[in-house]
């Protein structure tokens, strides 16, 4: 489970996925407060997911991004930090919010 450091709540973070058009990437976010999961969000994308700015609620202390691919690998960039998700496994990417 790669830990990629911290992001500031005020600035949020950027997310981008680079993958071949034949690759399906499933992303599930768990937004965690100090005492529980506060929100869950999911998206399934074939191919690339363009760079997007994502906001964070004021009560979020940690984000766990569960990524899975089918049909090949994908590169997931969060604030420019690149993580490769190989063909068909799951990967958890974690960062704290300050």
pLDDT digits (tens, 9 = 90+) for 4-59: 999 999 999 999 999 999 999 999 999 999 889 999 999 999 999 999 999 999 99
Confidence (pLDDT) at 30 = 96
Give the separation between CA 12 and CA 95, rounded to whole angstroms: 11
pLDDT digits (tens, 9 = 90+) for 57-68: 999 999 999 999
Give the separation between CA 50 and CA 74, rounded to whole angstroms: 13
The domain spans of the chain are 3-97
Q: Are strands 3-7 and 90-97 parallel, antiparallel or unpaired?
A: parallel
């Amino acid at each position: 489970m790669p830990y990629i450091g911290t992001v500031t709540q005020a600035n949020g973070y950027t997310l981008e996925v680079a993958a071949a058009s034949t690759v399906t990437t499933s992303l599930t976010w768990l937004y965690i407060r100090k005492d529980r999961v506060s929100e869950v969000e999911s998206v399934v994308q074939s191919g690339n997911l363009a760079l997007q700015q994502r906001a964070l609620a004021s009560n979020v202390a940690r984000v766990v991004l569960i990524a899975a691919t089918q049909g090949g690998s994908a590169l997931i960039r969060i604030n420019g930090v690149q993580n490769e998700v190989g063909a068909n496994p799951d990967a958890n990417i974690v960062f704290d919010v300050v």
